[in-house]
Structure 1
Amino acid sequence: MGRADARKARKRAARPSGIRRFFTWKKLLGTFFGLVLLCMGAFIVLYLVIDVPEGNPDAQVQSNVYKYSDGATMARTGKVNRELVDLAEVPEGVQHTFVAAENKTFYTDKGIDLKGTARGMLNTVMGKGKQGGSTITQQYVKNYYLTQEQTVSRKLKELVISLKVDQKQSKDDILAGYINTSYYGRGAWGIQAAAQAYYGEDASKLSVPQGAYLAALLQAPNQYDWALASDTGKRLAKARWNYVLDNMVGMHWLSASDRQGMTFDKPIPPKAASGLQGQEGYLYTAARDEVMKELNLTEAQFDAGGYTVTLNINRNKQKQLEKSVKQQLNDKLDRKDKKADARVQAGAVSVDPKTGKVLALYGGEGLSEHYVNNATRTDYQPASTFKPLILAAALEDKATTQSGQNITADTIYDGTSRRPVVDNGEKVGFAPPNEDKKSYGPVTLQTAMNKSINSVFAQLGVDVGMDQVMATAKKLGMDSGDLKPFPAQTLGTMGASPMEMAGVYATLDNHGKKVTPQIVKSVSKQGDRIPLDDAVGEQVISRGAADSVTSVLTGVVDDGTAKTSVRDNAVREGQQVAGKTGTSDDNKSAWFTGYTPDLVTSVGLFGEGALKSSEAGAHVSMEGAGGLPRVDGGSFPAQIWAQYTFNSSSANGKFDLDTDMGKAVQPTTTAPATPTEEPSTDPTPSKSESTEPTPTQSSPSETPTSETPTTEPTQTLPVPTDSPTASWPDDPVEPENGGGNGNGRD
């Protein structure tokens, strides 16, 4: 064999044969670098093509949270139990527990873990399901921008978006997004909901050991829930907790000595979701309505969530009000077997007159049993609780009787039942009966308020001017009912709510400075507090007028329609009280609205057809309820008011009044002391049918005189200066617009 043949033989021997001809090391190396370049190119294309998307709407859904004034959670509403919080609200040590648990290089990495992502993609391709290894940034991107689906394309998107997010957002923003969008078990999304669910605390009050447990939960929320976990689950949860704290020591975020002293803080047992049981449903609806009105929000905007609403409700006073309604009303009714009892609905609101805070509210039997909130409904008449507003209008406007006398608490009017109301010598077509058809003859306005004499206040309203009366009512806070200025409105025939009446009387208690009851203490969204209007406004009537009305209203308690239930109440401890009863036509509503120097409460009972009856929802009479012939303001309403107030208001409270008139200043002589029955409507009544003076008084002359009564009326009383005649009208006119039913109203 020649040299040439030998060389050819050696080349043939060195040349790979078979499959080796296609996979040489050069080709493999070239292919590898080609693939790397191809992947890099593909990644560059993906980086250029894939933008950071809008946040996942589901990751932004929050609940609205309602809290009592002391910070205790009352209720959460919404589809998702989440309340976003700023990272600044989370203690720094607690922040570090999440980094130590999930991503120790979080503060220095670029937002991705290539090895972990590659491992996750390989496991996905191989069908091994969900795998860990992602950074906090990647988990945040998955929670907030993407979905939980396990696909290669989703993993690639996660990688690209994580890089971009890390470049655009600060580490604090990313960490805040992560802890707010993660699921912790017990239906809790986000650290705030988790802190409440596991420790009954806000996130701002979490300790490092508590934070370490919540961080450990993220690996397996259901398996590590201490209340539900098996022995193995508890062992694994404890091991994970230790892992988190040990990593914190290694990262120099926790000293070894502090770590040594830390013990595992077992979470509280799971609670039923904060709901709307009992009165909470009414508190929620009232607060919700107030926030939407105050912030001008639609239902859709508010229900989108994220609001934390703290109420002014004082839990102790709330419990006391509920207890008072139960003991003074509900325990005395048999709603199941007695039709009259089933008709009675109760509503009440209690307000601090200095601040306008609604401290307690009673809305009914419960939102699931009675959807309408009785504390805020405005479809029932306030009846005689409106009378103090007529007096306030008279005093504020310095009104005079039709004979020119200045109107004060000692001004004398004719209290004869069905006495026709006169304006400038002309009958106005209104002659209201008094309660139980009683006639009183000449009485002072103080006595007329004490006895709630309709005929007197009907004439007073016309003397003042019904336009002025309605204007004053609006100033004081009445704005929901029909305030047209016709005389029958003096009987309180417009609509009003306990909330509204509590505000009106709080304004009187606050010396004429406008008080608008506020059930909401504060509102925040994602930690940002939203300013609210002040509950206390400007001076709407003079202090003298307001204080004079308060002084007069003490007489209703001391010597009037509320004396039995309020003045002589066994639990009263010296509190000075002003208030007014009210009972509407046909006994469809009954009220007591009253106040001490530091607490105003309005209690209303409403006759409503039972849900499962033919009269469901209709306004009906409460006659016979609780075994009473008639439910008036001095019965159940005053009894509820007294038990609640005397157990909630400061003892020995005294009014600071700037006035020289009324019961609180000086007792008033009533004339006559004993009422008579309503006289006949005979057009020519005999002298005996007329209202006669008491034996110690002389009969008034038939001619009105302009004599002004002194502060202490003498025993010889002038004829009421506002009375057109001492005789009866030829044809007494029935009250218009529900002005009476023959029995009159209080």
Structure 2
Amino acid sequence: MGRAEERRARQRGGGGHRAAPRRRSPGGAAGATGPGKPAKGRIRRLFTWKKILGTFLGLCLLCIGSFIVLYLVVDVPEGNAAAKRQSNIYKYSDGTILARRGTVNREIVDLSKVPRKVQLTFVAAENKSFYKDVGVDFRGTARGLINTLSGKGKQGGSTITQQYVKNYYLNQDQTVTRKLKELVISLKVDRQKSKDDILAGYINTSYYGRNAYGIQAAAQAYYRIDAQKLSVQQGAYLAALLQAPSQYDWAVASETSRKLVKNRWNYVLDNMVEEGWLSKAKRDGMTFPVPEAPKGAPGLDGQKGYLVDLANQQLEQQLMDRDGLTQSQAENAVMDQGWTITLNIDRKKQAALEKAVKSQLTDKLDPKKRKVDGNVQAGAVSVDPKTGHIVALYGGVDYYKHYFSNATRRDYQPASTFKPLILAAALEDDAKTQNGTAITANTKYDGTSRRPVVDHGTKVGFAPPNEDEQNYGPITVQKAMNQSVNSVFAQMGMDVGMDNVMSTAKKLGMDTKGMQAVPAQTLGSMGASPLEMAGIYATFDNHGAKVTPSIIKSAEAKSRTVEMSNPIGGQVISRTAADTVTSVLTGVVDDGTARDSVARNPLRNGQQVAGKTGTSDENRSAWFTGYTPDLVTSVGLFGEDKKTKNHVSLKGATGLPLPGLRVNGGGYPAKIWATYTFGVTDKAKFDLNATEGAAVEPTDTPTWSSSPTETPSQSPTSEPPSPSDTPTQSPTQTPTTQPPTQTPTTRPPTTTPPATPTGDITDNPLNPADQQ
């Protein structure tokens, strides 16, 4: 018997040595050493360090191989940036042509015609390693590819060579394919061309704003000189411009943008010192070279240029938001790229707005007779509150005569047109006065001029005067809005909390970046544009749903269509709060500062109107922003010195008679508004979800709060106010005109308000006085 047979026999008979039984884990298979051990074993066998390293090396080889193939396949294309440029066509909302813009303003200059140190300003601004690199920033390009793949937006860093390739050989699209082509072509161009050739190509193909392509056109557009005469300071400004050409154009830049471009100008010169291209002594002696005033591009006379510029800006912003382009890339992607842009501008409304400004203002100006008349600038924006469409816009007397659009400028105070935002914040937050009374249209405040604003009994150092130092005594919020009583809204802002006020302003559409939440802001002492104010009031008119005015109906280029953002957004304040503000603002028109110009306009024909006047400190701006159920329009007048462009007073413009001489919001702005609006709107009524305010409660029977609501710096009055709310103190001067016996409004005025004041504001450096 063999050994194997003998062993089997022993096992069958139970004798001899027996093998130890295999241990089984509970529920596990035979041979397992514990729960989950087989799975771990398989993972370990699958992901060994050798396999991981091999996979990584394989991927690296694959990428290298793919790049080699790409390098061999992709050739440097024929470049002709100028030839690729095509006219943009701009149309009215009905499809008729508004303007064509596409004559490329470019003159190629040899690099030898550009001073060497001016050449170096561009290297210092964009790519200090330009003369040492291989034409590509691999780290920045990789970052850009990752951002593009992940949808995060803006690309990584680019060398001058890469930017030149985009300008001259490719386009501004943010796709992986385009970025890979840019990488390969940049490497090849760097090998095929000298650094001087690349730099010359870059500065000759870049867009500098003001319709200027290339350094020669830019030198002429900004400094009226040839490129060969540029100073280092001027060259540094042009180099700084390339980051955001339109935003950094000194003539139209906001205060923030001016700071940014100055910072970048300093950055360029400091880099030159760091690289040894400029001595520190010369650098320290350099001052910022303010550019010359711009000239409008051909074919954009009248209002066309203002409309085209805003359309370009909004399309550029959409490309930045959607595709992650930088400001410079977006401008290059829009300017002269064959776009067909249809605007929301209604031809009839546009013509009516221009006619209204002419008949109510510009026909009355005579700069030869009165110097101040040459300083009057007007701007207006008209918006459909249901769609958010900008249907008409007035940017100035003529794009060629005044390049800076008055419709979009933000450098003047909106003054008392800000007061409704304070009321909106109070209503939205269910705010109370500091003695615990809810703030409503019927809440009473102390309307004494220069009454100190208090915070729970402590004066905060702000005591604004009312117009003409008028004292109103106890006065309701409704009447305070009608007469634009500064002392009331200054205290209300403190009661609501200025942080809450500014937060509400931001929700409604005001750009509050950099603004301080201080009581002085209750007078509208910040900067704002007619476009901005039209959007805010359109949100009120749209029952609290956000309106962001849009001028673009559609934008197409070749086979590409850009979908614009919806101008109508979500609810930013409650419908009740928005509608209550509207209700209160009807009182400004029927019983307040806009009554003479708006309520009594013979074209009104019973149309319901809400609005607010505003006149800033020292009479430098005057506003009327108002609305009907279907149209919102903001009109602003601005005092701008014709030569220096400084802010100046409008006092005496059009030959206004003594004793006032003042241009106020209830005057020309309201007249322009009424002439335009009543000529293009139909009779309609507000659909308001409100239980207070002039539109729902007659102002001759106010419902006074049962608890004392005077501000806490004084004891509540022991005597109830009279129903007519007659001021407890006499005005400081007698009204110059008698109130009319009747008005054309649908309901009679409740009381006889003071006549439009004619005295000027008393200057107070600490408390700039807002007027109507």
**Of residues 419, 437, 443 in structure 2, which corresponds to 1:387?**
419
The reply on whether 1:277 has 2:309 as its aligned counterpart is: no
Query: In 2, distance between residues paired with 1:540 and 1:700?
Result: 29
Cα shift at 1:668: 2.0
Instruction: Give, in angstroms, the shift of residue 290 of structure 1.
Output: 1.2
Is the alpha carbon distance of 1:701 and 1:292 closer, same or farther for their aligned partners in structure 2, counting shifts above 3 Å? Answer: closer
> Is 2:572 the counterpart of 1:540?
yes
Q: 2:445 aligned with 1:434, yes or no?
A: no
Alignment of 1:514-593 (within 5 A): 514-593=546-625
Quote the residue 1:620 is aligned against.
648
1:745 aligns with: 771
In structure 1, the partner of 2:686 is 655
Find the counterpart in structure 2 of residue 69 from structure 1: 93
Letter in 1 for 2:715: P
| Of 291, 316, 337, the match for 2:315 | 291
Preserved CA contact (<8 Å) 1:399 1:463 = yes
Deviation, structure 1 residue 305: 1.2
Structure-2 change in CA distance of 1:465 and 1:599 (3 Å): same
CA apart distance, 1:708: 14
Counting matched residue pairs gives: 459
For residues 586 and 80 of structure 1, do their structure 2 counterparts lie closer, same or farther at Cα, with a shift above 3 Å needed?
Answer: closer
Q: How big is the shift at 1:79?
A: 2.6
Q: What residue number does 2:664 align with?
A: 632
SS in structure 2 of the partner of residue 439 of structure 1? coil
Give, in whole Å, the separation in 1 of the partners of 2:434 and 2:76.
Answer: 79
CA–CA separation in structure 2 for the residues paired with 1:700 and 1:363: 42
Q: 1:215-234 to 2 correspondence within 5 Å?
A: none
Distance, in Å, in 2 between the alignment partners of 1:309 and 1:353 is 22
On the 8 A contact 1:329/1:640 being kept in 2, the answer is yes
Deviations 1:168-221 (CA, angstroms, capped at 9, x unpaired): xxxxxxxxxxxxxxxxxxxxxxxxxxxxxxxxxxxxxxxxxxxxxxxxxxxxxx
**Alignment root-mean-square deviation, CA:** 3.1
Q: 1:288–1:419: structure 2 CA closer, same or farther, 3 Å change rule?
A: same
Give the direction of change, closer, same or farther, for the CA distance of 1:421–1:701 in structure 2 (3 Å limit). closer
Change in Cα spacing, 1:716 to 1:80, as seen in structure 2 (3 Å) is closer
Match of 2:434 in 1: 402
Give the Cα separation in 2 of the matches to 1:330 and 1:512.
35
User: In structure 2, which of residues 337, 344, 349 is the aligned counterpart of residue 317 of structure 1?
Assistant: 349
The residue number in structure 2 matching 1:79 is 103
Return the alpha-carbon distance in structure 1 between the equivalents of residues 725 and 101 of structure 2: 68
Query: Matched residues in 2 for 1:427 and 1:299: separation?
Result: 50
Q: Deviations over 1:582-624 (max 9, x none)?
A: 000000000000000000000000000013xxxx200000000
1:248-287 counterparts in 2 under 5 A? Answer: 275-287=299-311
Residue 486 of structure 1 corresponds to: 518
Shift of 1:701: 13
Residue 665 of structure 1 corresponds to 696
Q: Is the 1:488–1:735 contact (alpha carbons within 8 Å) kept by the matching residues of 2?
A: no
Of stretches 319-328 and 334-343 in structure 1, the one that deviates more from structure 2 is 334-343
**Pairing 1:61-140 to 2, within 5 Å after superposition:** 61-79=85-103
Going from structure 1 to structure 2, the CA distance change for 1:701 and 1:376 (only over 3 Å counts) comes to closer
CA contact (8 A) 1:396 1:545 kept: yes
Q: 1 CA distance for matches of 2:686 and 2:534?
A: 17
Match in the other structure for 1:3: none
Shift of 1:527: 3.7
Distance change in 2, residues 1:406/1:315 (3 Å): same
- What is the aligned partner in structure 2 of residue 704 from structure 1? 715
Contact 2:445 2:711 in 1 (8 A): no
Question: How far off its partner does 1:275 sit?
Answer: 1.4
Take 2:698 and 2:475, find their aligned partners in 1: how far apart are those partners?
13
Deviation string 1:48-82 (CA, Å, 9 cap, x unpaired) is x9x9965755543211111111111111112369x
Task: Decide whether aligned partners of structure 1 residues 602 and 330 sit closer, same or farther in structure 2, where only a CA change above 3 A counts.
Answer: same
Contact 1:344-1:605 at 8 Å conserved across structures:
yes
Q: Is the 8 A contact 1:66 1:76 kept in 2?
A: yes
Compute the displacement of 1:736 (Å): 7.7
In structure 2, what residue type is equivalent to 1:664?
A: A
The residue type paired with residue 476 of structure 1 is: L
The letter of the residue matching 1:77 is: R
Query: Matches of 2:478 and 2:94 in 1, distance apart?
Result: 42
Q: Extract unaligned runs of 5+ from structure 1.
A: 1-48, 82-144, 146-272, 672-698, 721-733
The superposition leaves residues 89-116 of structure 1 with CA deviations (integer Å, 9 ceiling, x where unpaired) of: xxxxxxxxxxxxxxxxxxxxxxxxxxxx
**CA-CA distance at 1:309 after TM superposition:** 1.3
Contact conserved, 2:462 with 2:766, CA < 8 A, in 1?
A: no
Q: 1:714 to 1:66 in 2, by over 3 A?
A: same
Farther-moved stretch of structure 1 (306-315 vs 489-498) = 306-315
Shift of 1:418: 0.3
1:471 aligned residue:
503
Partner SS state of residue 426, structure 2: helix
**CA displacement at 1:299 relative to structure 2:** 2.1
Match of 1:358 in 2: 390
Q: Distance in 2 between matches of 1:665 and 1:289?
A: 41
Which shows bigger deviation, 474-483 or 385-394? Answer: 474-483
1:373 and 1:717 map into 2 onto residues whose CA distance is 43
Rounded to whole Å, the distance in 2 between the matches of 1:473 and 1:52 is: 52
Give the deviation of 1:481 after TM superposition.
Answer: 6.5
Deviation at 1:469, TM superposition (A): 0.2
TM-score, normalised by the number of residues in structure 1: 0.58
Q: Report deviation, 1:745.
A: 2.2
Taking every aligned residue pair, what percent have the same amino acid on both sides? 61
For 1:443-481, what per-residue CA distance to the aligned partner results, in whole angstroms no more than 9, with x for missing partners?
000000000000000000000000000000000010066
> Partners in 1 of 2:667 and 2:406 — Cα distance?
18
How far 1:669 sits from its partner (Å)? 4.0
1:402·1:424 contact (CA, 8 Å) conserved in 2?
yes
Map of 1:142 onto structure 2 = none
Which position in structure 1 is the counterpart of 2:631? 599
The answer to whether the 8 Å contact 1:430/1:735 transfers is no
Structure 2 CA distance for partners of 1:446 and 1:516, relative to 1, 3 Å: same
- Give distance in 2, aligned partners of 1:424 and 1:701: 7
For 2:689, the aligned partner's letter is D
Give the Cα–Cα distance (whole angstroms) in 1 for the partners of residues 495 and 447 of structure 2: 15
TM-score, with normalisation over the residues of structure 2? 0.56
Residue pair 2:701, 2:724 contacting (<8 A) in 1 also: no
Q: Distance in 1 between matches of 2:712 and 2:298?
A: 71
Shift of 1:738: 6.2
What is the match of residue 135 of structure 2?
none
The offset of 1:484, in angstroms, is: 1.2
> Counterparts of 2:77 and 2:315 in 1: how far apart (Å)?
32
Deviations 1:220-255 (A, max 9, x none): xxxxxxxxxxxxxxxxxxxxxxxxxxxxxxxxxxxx
**Residue identity matched to 2:654:** G
Rg (Cα) greater in structure = 1
How far off is 1:285 after superposition?
A: 1.1
User: Secondary structure in 1 aligned to 2:680?
Assistant: coil
Residues 110-138 of structure 1: per-residue CA shift (max 9 Å, x gap): xxxxxxxxxxxxxxxxxxxxxxxxxxxxx
C-alpha separation between the residues in 2 aligned to 1:71 and 1:738?
Answer: 52
Partners of 2:584 and 2:694 within 8 A in 1: yes
Name the amino acid aligned to 1:619: H
Q: Which residue number in structure 1 is paired with residue 457 of structure 2?
A: 425
